[in-house]
Amino acid sequence: MSTATDLVILELPFKAPFDWPRILRFFNGRATPGVEAVEDGAYRRAIDWAGDSGTLTVRPHSRKRCLVATIEGPAGQHAEALSAPIARMFDLHADPKAIAAHFASDPWLWPLIEAAPGLRVPGAWSAFELVVRAIVGQQVSVKAATTIIGRLVQRAGLRIEDHPHERTAWRFPTPAALAAADMAQIGMPGKRVAALQGFAAAVASGAVPLDSQAVDTAALRAALLALPGIGPWTVEYVAMRAWRDADAWPAWDLVLMQSIAARDPALLRPTQQRVRTDAWRPWRAYAAMHLWNEVADRAGAARGG
């Protein structure tokens, strides 16, 4: 770790291979306008930690097997604590060789792993942000969801004064702010607005401690499923990306269902697909990423996940 005035640089190692272009593509396709951005081959976002704000920029090291995380602003004084969430976000603890070995005899997955051997499961800076995105994205395109999320940030978030990076100059709304925001003409059906604000209120009250340091995923899965407008897909998606459950599987994801049915037309629904997908345990989240990635590669877009 090296430091300068209001600037801290961390080097965070990973086990090779590491597919930086694809993880960056994934984040770019889902970046929250005003809060996070992909530019100049790097990921950047506004962050808050223990009451201090700053800007996080992550890019690969030019020579070493590590990512370089630069923290600008007062949040840099928490660099030691920040290394863990950054590592989770970029899946730096994954062992790609062990995962590949598990799928080596699988005729469906092995060709995908050969095509993208360093594919990671992209994490999330905040489980709260991820669930907001998932609710907003229900039954709309990725592009439409991004537009609505941008409106939410401007209505309920806070602009960071004198911020050096214009594309990341907003703080994502807090649960309390989002629960109380005026959502008129936001571009979502009333029922989805109610689900979103009900979820935000549950997090604000502490009833659903999404981003607590000690995550009891079984209890949080149940708490989320009990909320109106949140189904199994959202819960498994959050488990994959925010809670780092390597075996999470969003069984009702349309792209995954179609990918499996294309390989075996007898397997149309998750109930029929389960025996096949159970063979991918305990790495089903990586199987999901490879199937999504195949579609994204083919479409040249951010579809899937």
Residue 88 DSSP SS3: helix
| Residue 64 half-sphere exposure toward CB, CA atoms < 13 A | 10
Q: What is the DSSP string of 13-32?
A: E-PSP--HHHHHHHHHHTPP
Spacing of C-alpha 127 from chain mean position: 8
Q: Which residues contact 151 (CB under 8 A, 6 or more apart)?
A: 186, 187
The Cα 126–Cα 243 span in angstroms is 10
Residue 175 DSSP SS3: helix
The Cα 185–Cα 75 span in angstroms is 35
Which amino acid would we find at residue 195?
A
Question: Is 95 marked active-site?
Answer: no
Spacing of C-alpha 123 from chain mean position: 4
The Cα 192–Cα 137 span in angstroms is 10
Catalytic, out of 211, 245, 253, 278: 253
The Cα 139–Cα 135 span in angstroms is 9
Catalytic residue numbers?
253
